Amino acid sequence: MADRDFSRICDTREWELPGYEPWFPVSEKSNPLTCDIDKASPNHIVRLLAACDAQIFQTKSGSTYERLFCDSIVHSMKEVTKMLEHILRDPEDSLVVLSGCGTSGRLAFLMATCFNRILKDQEQKPLYTYIIAGGDKALLTSQESPEDDPKLGMLTLEKICEGKRRVLFIGISCGLSAPFVAGQIAFCLKHPDVFSPVLVGFNPVSQARDEPMPGSTLTFRALVQKMQQKGQRAFIINPAVGPEVITGSSRMKGGSATKILLETILASAHTAAITNTHVTQGVLLARMKAYEFVHSATYSHSEQIAALIQSTGLSLQRGGRVCYVAWGSLGLLGLIDASECIPTFGADYEDVRGFIRGGYQDLDNIEGDLTSLGPQFCISHEDFMHLVLPNLSDRDLVLLLYTAHDDLDEVEKMILRVREKTSNVHILYHRLEGEAAADSMAPLCSSVLSVTWPFPSPDLNLLHMQWELSSKLVLNAVSTGGHILKGKVYRNHMIDLQVTNSKLYHRAGHILQKLSGCSQTRCEETLLKAIYDVETLTEDITSARVYTHTISASRRSRVVPLALVCLLMGCSLSEAKSRLQSHPVVREAVEACVTSSTPSSP
Ligand code: F1P
C-alpha cells in the first residue's frame, strides 16, 4: 500500500459520524477501516492494525466524542491521581482495588502486582489488590458467566475491603457494560465514607448498557448517571478510542487504552508522592504521549510483525500449536493474549498457549498455584519443557519474548532446546540503545523482532510498562492475524465466538442479523436452535432467561457459524452441520453459503 493510502486510512473518522451504526455504542461498532480485513494479506493486516490502534491517540477535532487527550478526560485523571497521592502519603488502613471481567480483570491484576512490586522495592507495604470476575482461574482461562452477576461483584469487593478505612475502587468495563463491575460501583456509592469509585471505559455515558441487570431494575447507564450527580465523589474516565479491529474485541484497543490510562494515573501519583509535588495535567499528558511513541516504535517493525502473522496463520491452519514462552511480565502478557483466543475465535486452549518463566511464583496471584486445576493451568517454563516440548514439530510455532534485562544465557539455552523439536522459532526482544543485540540468537531463529528503545530512559519501571504495551500490540496482532488467516473472522466479525454471557449473546444476535439480513426474531430463534441443538424450539427454551441460554451455549461449539449457515441457506440444523463439516474453515463455509444463496444474474 502506498504511504498516501495509509495516511488516508489513518485520517478516517467515519465511525464518529452520528449516522454511523447509531444503534451501537462505540465499543460494539464495526470499524469501517477493517471491513475487508478477512481478505487482507499479512502486510495489510498490520497496516490496518496500526491505523486502528492510532485512533486511540486521535485528538477530538470537532467530533462529539471525548478523546484520550481531551481536557475533560485529563482533568478527571488528575482528580483521581490526587486522591491516590493522598492515600500514598498516608496508606494506613487504605486499599486501592482494581477490578474487571475478562481482559479488564487480567489487566487489573497486571497493574496491581506491578505497582505493589514498585512499593516493595521502596520498602513499603503493598497497597493494591485486584478482583477478576471468576477468581484467579479467570486470569488464565475464559470464565465469562460471572461477568453477569452484580451481587457476586459486590460481595467480592465487600470481603476484600473488610476493615479498611479508605478504599479507592477502580472498576474497568471497556463497554460500560459488565454487571459484575456495576454491582461494585453501586456498593461504593452506598458507602461514600469509605469508598471512592472510579469507572474506566470507552463509551460515552449516553451509550452505557441500558438493560436491567440480573436481580435488579437498575441499568449500567442509570448507575453511571448516578455517579455523575452533584455531590458524588465518583469519577468516570471514558474517552472514545474508536471501534475495535475485530468488532467488539475489547481485549485489543480497550485493553491497551486501559493500560495507558491507569498506568499514567498510578505512576504519576507515585512520582508526586515521592517527590512531594502535585501532579499537573501537563505531566499526565506527557506520560500518555510516551505511549503514543510506543505505538510508532512498535509498528515501525511492520514487516517483521507481518512475517510473524504469516507463520502463525500457517501453524494454526495446519492444526499446529502456537506457544508464547516468555520472561518477566511479558509472560503475563502472553498468558493474557492466549486466554482470549478461546472466547474470541472459538479456539482450543492448546491452539495458543502462554508460559511464564517461574510459573505461579512469578505470577504472584492471590490464590497461588493453580496447576492442580488441569493442564490449562500449567504455565511455567518447566511445564512447557515437560508437557509440550516433547511433542512439538515443525508445524508448531514458538515465540520467545524477553528483554535485555532478562537472563540471556537462559534464553539461548531455551532456544537451543526448542530448536531440537521445531525450526519454527521466533523472537520478540526489547532493549535499550547500547544494550546487547540479539545477534547470537538470530541465526537460531526463523525471525527476529528486535525493538530498540532510546537511551536514557526516564525510569526503568516506566520503560518496562512501555515494553509490555509494545508486546501486547505485537501479540494481539499475531493471534488476531493468525486467526484471520485460519478463517475465524468473516469481514471484521468474530463469527466463531463463544456465547457465554449476556453481552456475547447479544453480540452473537447482532452478528447474525448483520451477516444474514434476517429479522432480529428469526436470528434469535435460530441462535437458540443452535445453542440447544434442536430443530424445533420448545416453550421451555423460549421462556428461559438469557443466563440459561449462555449455560447451554458453553457446552457447545460453533453455535454462531451453525446459526449463520441455517439463516443463509434457509436450511435445518442438521444440514448446516454437514455443510460445516465439508467446509471446516468457518469463513469459507459462510462464503460458500453466500455464493450459493445469491441468485445468479440472468
Ligand atoms: C469484559 C470482557 C472482555 C472479553 C470479552 C467479554 O468486557 O470479559 O474482556 O474480551 O469480550 O467481555 P468489558 O466489561 O471490559 O467491556
What is the ipTM, given to two decimal places? 0.95
What is the SS3 assignment for 571?
A: coil
Smallest CA-to-CA distance from 228 within 255, 187, 199 is with 199
The mean per-residue pLDDT over the stretch 350-373 comes to 97
pLDDT exceeds cutoff 50 at 576: yes
Strand-pair category, 493-494 with 489-490 = antiparallel
Q: How far is the CA of 340 from the centre of ligand 1 (A)?
A: 10
CA-CA distances (angstroms) from residue 414 to 15, 329, 384, 388, 397?
45, 18, 11, 13, 14
* Residue 173 CB less than 6 A away from ligand 1: yes
* Residue 105 CB less than 6 A away from ligand 1: no
For the record, the C-alpha cell of 470 comes out as 509494545
Q: How far is the CA of 96 from the centre of ligand 1 (A)?
A: 22
pLDDT digits (tens, 9 = 90+) for 57-92: 999 888 889 999 999 999 999 999 999 999 999 999
Which residue segments constitute the domains of the chain, with CATH numbers given?
A: 71-294 (3.40.50.10490), 300-486 (3.40.50.12620), 502-597 (1.10.8.1080)
Atom 8 in ligand 1: residue holding the nearest Cα? 102
Strand-pair category, 352-356 with 493-494 = unpaired
* Residue 196 CB less than 6 A away from ligand 1: no
Smallest CA-to-CA distance from 153 within 92, 204, 206, 199 is with 199
Comparing 4-13, 471-480, 540-549, the range with the smallest average pLDDT is 4-13
pLDDT band of residue 598 (cuts 50, 70, 90) is: low
Q: How far is the CA of 387 from the centre of ligand 1 (A)?
A: 30
Smallest CA-to-CA distance from 35 within 243, 273, 224 is with 243
Cis upstream peptide for 390 (omega within 30°):
no
CA 73 – CA 22 distance, rounded (Å) = 23
Indicate the angle between helix axes 179-190 and 220-228, nearest 10 degrees. 30
* Residue 175 CB less than 6 A away from ligand 1: yes
104-133 burial by CB neighbour count: b if 16+ within 10 A, else e? bbbbbbbbbbbbbebbeeeeeeebbbbbbb
Smallest CA-to-CA distance from 37 within 397, 419, 493 is with 493
CA 504 – CA 430 distance, rounded (Å) = 36
* Residue 104 CB less than 6 A away from ligand 1: yes
pLDDT band of residue 8 (cuts 50, 70, 90) is: very low
* Residue 447 CB less than 6 A away from ligand 1: no
* Residue 250 CB less than 6 A away from ligand 1: yes
Amino acid at 123: E
DSSP conformational letter for 266: H
CA 180 – CA 25 distance, rounded (Å) = 19
CA 467 – CA 246 distance, rounded (Å) = 24
